[in-house]
Amino acid sequence: MPHSLPNLQALALFLAVVDEGGLGAGARRLGMHQPNASRMIAQLEAQAGTALLERDPRGSRPTSAGLLYAAHARELLEAAEEFSAWLRHSRDEGARELRVGVSMTIAEHLMPAWLTELRRTSGRVRVDLEVLNSTKVLAGIHDGHLQLGFVETPHVPRGVHAMRLREDELVVVVATEHPWAQRERPLDPGELARTPLVVREGGSGTRDAFEELLPAAARTAPVQELGSNAAVRIAVASGAGPAVLSMLAVRSSLEAGQLCRVPVAGDRLRRVLTAVWSGPRRLSGPAADLVAVASAPEAVER
């Protein structure tokens, strides 16, 4: 009967509470006031006929019945998301539009070739592209403003689907007159971490990835903080200090002799480029086509 069907918003809240470990945190994740969240959970438990959460001062955790309930709730919500996606597609089947957020390095050096291949293989697709740092791309995915994103940060939050596309190398670069340009031995990672660098702004995937690989670097104040790869390259070439950037972003400057690469001892600094989206786990339409292009072995940078 219709009145016995579960409330999907309440199920989403219950899963948020389970994932976050507390009613307050789960409510905040969904933008809900805690008193309303408490009433909604109570209604779920009344409908289930059993306690779903154990509450104590440290938070809330699912009971044994709650664990089983959560597993079925996830399946139901995924099915509802699939249905919603199908409904949107069937309502406007002729539309081939895609809102994509792209972090800056990918936008500058990979996305042009990907879009060219997408148009060649998938016909007429209108792609509305927004170039943002990785944190803002993820925010756009979370709030539904963006349908698909490409990020460079290793910090992909729960609730967002992610697909690894390729590895990217981070390299240390300096001006040709910098003392490190004449080094005969590779740079010690500890010395790199202690050195003030020219860095991208907070939220940049390049900066996040570097500080994940070399956590001590996050404790050293930068010499400059800039909002684009081009600005960082110019500052480094002008003698402001070293920087760590993607090889994609500095290859042409290295080949032109405008910058020098400084080898680093130990493992190479590598990070992963990732496609992200929310909603159904399986992509469809232009989003699936673009991810297929981006993940193809022959996908190359500009």
Place of tokens 């971490």: 193
Bin 266: left if φ > 0, else alpha if -120 < ψ < 50, else beta: left
The answer to whether residue 124 scores a pLDDT higher than 90 is no
User: Within a domain: residue 63?
Assistant: yes
pLDDT in tens, 146-170: 999 999 999 999 889 999 999 999 9
Domain co-membership, 44 together with 181: no
Taking a C-beta distance cutoff of 8 angstroms, is the pair 18, 70 a contact? yes
d(CA 44, CA 38): 10
pLDDT in tens, 202-222: 999 999 999 999 999 999 999
User: Within a domain: residue 302?
Assistant: no
Alpha helix segments (H runs only) across 97-174? 104-109, 111-122, 134-142
Q: Which of 68, 91, 114 is the last residue of a domain?
A: 91
Domain co-membership, 183 together with 267: yes
pLDDT in tens, 44-89: 999 889 999 998 888 888 999 989 999 999 989 888 888 877 766 6
Domain co-membership, 140 together with 286: yes
3-state secondary structure of 165: strand
The pLDDT of residue 299 is 56
CATH number at residue 243: 3.40.190.290
Tokens of 81: 């998301």
Q: Give 139's Cβ-side CA count (13 Å radius).
A: 9
The pLDDT of residue 242 is 97
Domain co-membership, 283 together with 147: yes
User: Within a domain: residue 198?
Assistant: yes
Indicate yes or no: pTM above 0.75: no
Domain co-membership, 150 together with 176: no
- If one counts every other C-beta atom within 10 angstroms of the C-beta of residue 94, the result is 4
Tokens of 179: 């003392």
More confident residue, 48 or 260: 260
Domain co-membership, 181 together with 266: yes
User: Within a domain: residue 300?
Assistant: no
Domain co-membership, 174 together with 238: yes
With vertex at residue 292, the alpha carbon angle to CA 287 and CA 293, rounded to the nearest 5 degrees, is: 100
The pLDDT of residue 285 is 87
User: Within a domain: residue 44?
Assistant: yes
Give 17-69 as a DSSP string: HHHHTSHHHHHHHTT--HHHHHHHHHHHHHHHTS--EEEETTEEEE-HHHHHH
Domain co-membership, 234 together with 287: no
CATH number at residue 137: 3.40.190.10
What lies within 8 Å, CB to CB, of 183 at 6+ separation is: 262, 263
Q: Which of 57, 73, 91 is the last residue of a domain?
A: 91
Give the closest residue to 11 by CA, choosing from 74, 67, 101, 83: 74
Tokens of 268: 């190479």
Domain co-membership, 111 together with 139: yes
**Residue 243, H or E segment:** strand 243-246
Q: Which of 61, 91, 121 is the last residue of a domain?
A: 91
With pLDDT > 70 as the criterion, what percentage of the chain qualifies? Answer: 93
User: Within a domain: residue 24?
Assistant: yes
Taking a C-beta distance cutoff of 8 angstroms, is the pair 236, 243 a contact? yes
Q: Kindly list the distances between the CA atom of residue 239 and the CA atoms of 39, 167, 183, 224, in Å, as whole numbers in the listed order.
A: 61, 29, 17, 12
User: Within a domain: residue 28?
Assistant: yes
Domain co-membership, 76 together with 212: no
Domain co-membership, 149 together with 286: yes
Give the amino acid at 105.
Answer: T
d(CA 94, CA 213): 45
Owning domain of residue 208: 167-271
CATH number at residue 28: 1.10.10.10
Domain co-membership, 55 together with 101: no
Tokens of 42: 């109570």
Give the closest residue to 70 by CA, choosing from 23, 15, 27, 4: 15
User: Within a domain: residue 289?
Assistant: yes
Please give the tally of structural domains in the chain.
Answer: 3
